[in-house]
Structure 1
Amino acid sequence: MRKVFVFCFLLLTQVIFSATYIPKNTKEEKILESYKGRRLVLGLKSSEFESSIVDGESLNILIEEMLKSYLNLNIEIVKADWNEILTLYDAKKIDIIGMMSQSEERKRNTSFSLPIYDDLIYISSSVEGKVDSNRIESLNGKEIYVTENSIYKGYLEKFLRYNDIDAKIVEVKDSYEMKDEIFLTSKYNLVGWENGLKVGYLPDTSIALRKDLADLTEIINNALLEKYQGEINRFLEKRNHIKYKNKFLNSLSEDEKKYLQILPQVSIALDPNYTLSYYSKNLNRVIGVIPFFVDSLSSRTGIKFKVVNDRNNNWDHVYTDFLSRKIRIVPLAENKDWNDELIFTKPIYTPILYKISSFYTHNTKVGVVKGSVEESFVREFYMDEDIKLYGDYDQLEKALNRHEINTALQFDINKMDTSKFRVDEFIRIPISLALHKEDAILRDIINKGIKNGLSLKKVEEEADIIKKQEAFNEYQKFQVTNKILYILLGVSSLLGMASIYKILSNYKVTRELKKDLTTGLPNRTEFLNFISKKKNLKGYAITMDIDNFKEINDKYGQASGDYLLKSVAGCLRKIFPNQDIFRLSGDEFDLFIQEEFIIERLNLLKDELKALKLAYQLDLSIGYYKKDTLVELEEAFKYAYMAMEEAKKKNGTYYLEATEEILKRKKREYSIKSLLRTKSLAGLYAVYQPKFDIKTKKIIGGESLARWVSDNLGFISPAEFIPIAENINLIHLVDYKIADETIKYVKYLKENNLVDDDFKLSFNLSMKSLEKDDVVQNIKELLEKNDVPGKWLEVEITESIFSTNLKTTLLKIDELKRLGLSLAMDDFTAGHSTVSLLPLLPLEVVKFDKGILDAIGTKDNLVASNIYSALIGLVKDLDVVIVAEGIETEAQLLFLHNSNVRIGQGYIFSKPITKDEFEKKL
């Protein structure tokens, strides 16, 4: 046994520390053997990020070393700027690119390795004040520099478009060379956190190989896993550390540098509060926002800190030692009532002090834990006679339960079972580091460390991740302990086992994992446990959603959004006591009710929410399904969700039952969505409705319209699939396919002399298609592929384009016009748009909506005639052709003839027809 262990140890050591790669199997041996003697060209970017050397290493050096020395490949190096590297790669003069961000388009001709690092992109500048991270709109009118042919540009365009920012994007060889201006860059090149505006996450960055080298990818992946992923991550951490430390040192004055050189170890107290810092048994040290901040500050600045803790977690002791100068620095909220001898750094963290209130008690007593940080704040807001002090947080919770107090103040709401109480944000308190007046130079040095080397938000995020991981680890420990106890105690007593299981299951450490922090309701984890354990319940599955919650949140702010969620949760507890209520995510709540009178309860809930409706225009959409024992609980909630979706579509519908008719319709809708998402558009085709001269009845053009016949679903009405495609942002698939058919058909008609020179076919582009960055390129490719001039075609758009980013849309329309295409405004009513905006569009045709024409020849004839005539008058000065849609009666045709409308379209002449039928009418 010992020999086997030694052998395994030596083998593992060889794998880890070997200077060259050891093939894992004969297949890898053959692959590596096949590349011996074959020259492979490796393209490496020459920009600052890839080339900067730290302790003799750079990203480029590590990639080259892995391929050359570790894998023993015959590598020739080409170093150039990104644009040149990409050009050579496309021309197949480069085989491998050291670092490339993945994208769907690139995957078509590239095999990617495992990620070597992740990345975010920022708008930044080395000049302070050029980028305001708190005001996105400050970018309006500015120039932003981007590296040529990088995928960064597309992400920036979307960011600017979504935030309605009018900035000019300027492409240069290397954007980092423009760092004194405003430039787009990786998080690794960010010039100061305070000057950075996050644009978003990038796809993973990997080593890119041409497709014919795909067999090398797995071997490169193994090399990364064995050695080089770790090497690259260590290098990036070291680079960031040195980069920010140098930035910090350069910001210091000569006096500050001398002061720092002779500065002894600085004592700092950690706030004895679970929110800001706490002891981790797993890591055997104090962790949290403040400890993480201290560690980061120390590594960035070189200041050595001695951390001082009070074993009894008593803030009074800490503060007394600080005032007596036994401790040099403490985290503290700056307040005018503090000692005048104190000075403060910039805020390093802004925690929330929560107000936890009983639903039933109306006394004015407020409770806090004695000696806690909360105690130091409560006296600012409450009279001394109304404040009650408790030994710990368990005692505080019991006092709320016994109604001794009405309110408790806490930073960390996870110390208490808040599901029984109302939780409100009381105040946000900026925490700074407090020092004594004589330490002004140290305060200034720390401020420069914060400004030039630390992302406080990142420190806060890291602390939160570790905190949640700690809670999860504790939970896992108790799960393991629970299983062991189950086995041991099962032998002696089933009753004892069940009791201990209950104690462990309810242990407080698991609360954070089981409840939603905003509302205190059971969360998604608990919901999944519920539906898996209680499949055979009878009752009502209910799903509800707050209408337009995002808009409410954006309008009134996140604090109001959280207040609404808590208020809705409180109303649900009140109306449905002792029932199963969950908050899954966002603004969705799920309930299971095991009693009748559901409609009465839902109406009571509506009455209870009247005040919120008046204040915030809050409405709910609710779907419910009556479940029997034959239906799985998971299915029941799925059906309730379908009904909720239908209720949301119908304005003014508060609740809707999941009937068989609704479920059948929703299942069909989901099937259509599935076909669209898998891009299975077999059976989608174009039909053509003629446009005719009203006077001569001659066909002068036509409009292509989408129709769909599916093998599984049969005929799918446009009224079904078009709204669905728009809703899931896949309408462009339909538009492009119909555009392709239209282009091919007009070519056929022209080349066979079936139509004259002025004849045009039109196709539709929806608003969502127009919003796509590549819409013009796609239409251009269709024209070029089919060798058809744009002048034979017309693009129809609707008034809804006026609700888009009009400037961007107009640029795309101009590009379509340059392709020779004519432009028509479809379904014109002067509704969304105004006549003053119409001249902005280079229109040739305006098509009037059929809704007004429908009333011609009816009892509302006079009103409809006047409106239609007014519309004609509105556009007559625009030098456009008017087309009347939806002509169905002789009365409508006569009216249009007398109104000098020349072109018509409608069932009186022809419905949409197939190509063969269209040709017969010609």
Structure 2
Amino acid sequence: MRKVFVLYFLLLTQIIFSANYIPKNTKEEKILESYKGRQLVLGLKSSDFDNTMIDGESLNSIIEEMLVDYLNLNIRVIKSDWNEVITLYKNKEIDIMGTMTQNEQRKESSVFSLPIYDDLIYISSSSKGKFDPNNLESLNGKEIYATESSLYIEYLEKFLKYNDIDAKIIEVKDSYERKDKIFLTSKYNVLSWDESIKVGYLPDVSIALKKELGDLIEIINNALLEKYQGKINRHLERRTHITYQNKFMSSLTDEEKVYLQGLSQISIALDSNHTLSYYSKGLNKFIGVIPFFIENLSKRTGIKFKIINDKNNNWNNTYADFLNKKIRIVPLPENKEWNKKLIFTKAIYTPTLYKISSFYTHNTKVGVVKGSVEETFARDFYSDGDIKLYGNYDQLEKALNRHEINTALQFDINKMDTSKFRVDEFVKIPISLALHEEDAMLTNILNKGIKNGLNLKKLEEEANIIKKQEAFNEYQKFQVTNKILYILLGISCLLGMASIYKILSNYKVTRELKKDLITGLPNRTEFLNFISKRKILKGYAITMDIDNFKEINDKYGQASGDYLLKAVGQCLKKIFPEQYIYRVSGDEFDVFVQEEFLIERLNSLKEELKALKLAYQLDLSIGYYKKNGTEDLENAFKHAYMAMEEAKKRNGTYYLEATEELLKIKKREYSIKSLLRNKDLSGLYAVYQPKFDIKTKRVIGGESLARWSDKELGFISPAEFIPIAEEINLIHLVDYKIADETIKFIRDLKENELVDDEFKLSFNLSMNTLERDDVVQKIKELLEKNDVLGKWLEVEITESIFSTNLKTTLLKIDELKRLGLSLAMDDFTAGHSTVSLLPLLPLEVVKFDKGILDAIGTKDNLVASNIYSAFIGLVKDLNVMIVAEGIETEAQLLFLASSNVRIGQGYIFSKPITKDEFEEKL
């Protein structure tokens, strides 16, 4: 029996303290297993609120930790401004939104988790005097900045309409960047700000998933309930306190800061039987508005308080101890009659003292609880002969029922059945903190802490909720006591049965949990255990991936996909007997081999899979790394993975070793990806290659080209960073920055009168960028921001446009044309050469690729010149201008001149150069 108990205890401990999520049933196991082979994209906002680190954690990092570390999902993170991540989410390029406000429209396309926090919307400004927070009319005629595509705007529009305010809403990428203006934002961004107006409450903020991921939502909800809802709440609470603490500390003088550093624990007296503060035996602490205020004041100022109360619950005794300086602070209404040597802080709370009167008696007796704060106020308003004292509030109510008294004074009218009495507000009494006159500096410090925005209404609501919960708990106590023996008996039986079942099935469950369900190989969990425990092994770390597995799955069906995975697993066990083999994700297998002759084994594996290659076009990409005994096993597999990635890129490469040279290249590639993902484009800049008149050699235009120089990586070639940016769908960051620099440069050239009206600068837009929803708006913003006309610019696109959604792309091209920009086809004849489709595009310029031109002046001169001339004839029929790229020799120049090609680009005239060098050529 003891062993059964130990087993049960260990199981319970594992569930409670596990670092990873434990599926609740076989359905959840299957769901999580189905996602191991699938990469999900998580969208996170790059705002200050979401990224602010508190004790080493941000809201974004907590959500990422839950999905990656706790649920073990394969997550790729995209972090950007709200407009970009919501656009990517709508375009289904993002699967999960870390935070999103719920509304009915969004529920049509998304599923939402349990709420992770609530929010309020405020109009605010970090600058003083922008508006009067106490006068809504001060917003009339003002500009209010709001984040575009934000749900906040809808609420702002209603607020302005209902309050008859005529203000202009200006949508920007991130309203917080305009905080020095008047802007619309979350309560978390204006926690300690004085000038704010509440617009309204927002619906709950949750994690949002695309509808097709709906089977994950229950698992995410469980993770939130088990661990992460509380973690997020603690983070937000800590953030709130730090925000206020920073404001509080900045308000102190140097002398006050020194005083505060030397301050020890301060004693404060609280009433243990009062609506404003009372001692809860269930919670073993003081609760109520004043205790909650003191607790929050302590967190926001760093001042430590020690709460003291009289053992006999007698307020008069407490007050006497305070006057004798045994207690340093007491909450009191400010009244000079108390004691002329007392000083008071600003009011911390203004409760209402109620007058509860009998309908049936007209005597003048007033009842209060002896030793309560109410007794003090009764003596201010009534003579001693009219005051009757009672031991508690129940006795007070009975006296009122028996007509012994006409009136009872109470702060908390919930303490008696008020339906039988008349209830009137007697007086509102501001409560302050009372100190002795020698504590003047402490009083000033407390006043600055009190000023720092504690929400007393919210504290009162919390106190009332807890009070009602305690009353309900007391009501339930008797029934619970009666049932507890039966429940314990039932639990004991269930635990006994569960323990027995656990012992019988433990081996099977453990074995199954460690196995991949399709291949029977050890799974990712076992792989992680292996690399953490077997670090000193020598041999080869191998990572292999099935090429185009998703396409195979889509083409032949999931059953065939499962069959292929199983077949690959069986081949691996045959080729690598007695070795460490794992299926770590959808189509990825990791193997560790301690024996030599690796290449022979890999070739044998290829032979084994030949039949599958013929039937399903199945190929593997394999990377391997030779590990010595001291190297870290996890790093060895990382190196193997890098080699596998590179092998996949090199068509026809079956296996590739992770050599030092390759690892250096891959690490550089990862560094470039990191710069792009973090939007660190400080080293990215534009150079300009002149376009010139072939006959006169006069500069008549130019093309901007992207270059990158990083302080750690050095010069990064466009051939290096552009494919990487396209691979991770961030090429638009490059395009937009170069477009911005180009527009600024043409503005400077025009302002300095260095070019004429015919002169144009061109910049490139990749097809990925041209397919984005924001491309036209972005170019429009850049033109407006720099006060530049579109007719001074030319957009260059490539022939790959014909492989995109041509209808949508043409609509965007038309919108760019309406902005005044010209359109050029770049690298013509280098790609698709779809001449028949060129009339579909509103082109002004076609730029011929240098490939054919390179043969001019060589032994293939005749063939090359005939082909080039044919293309010239075809394009001229379209009534567009031709630009020849890549001119390097006099022979090429003479040929183009004789062919009536007017404009050229190339090293014979100029390589790409800096702005200053370009201006010198003008």
TM-score normalised according to structure 1 size: 0.50
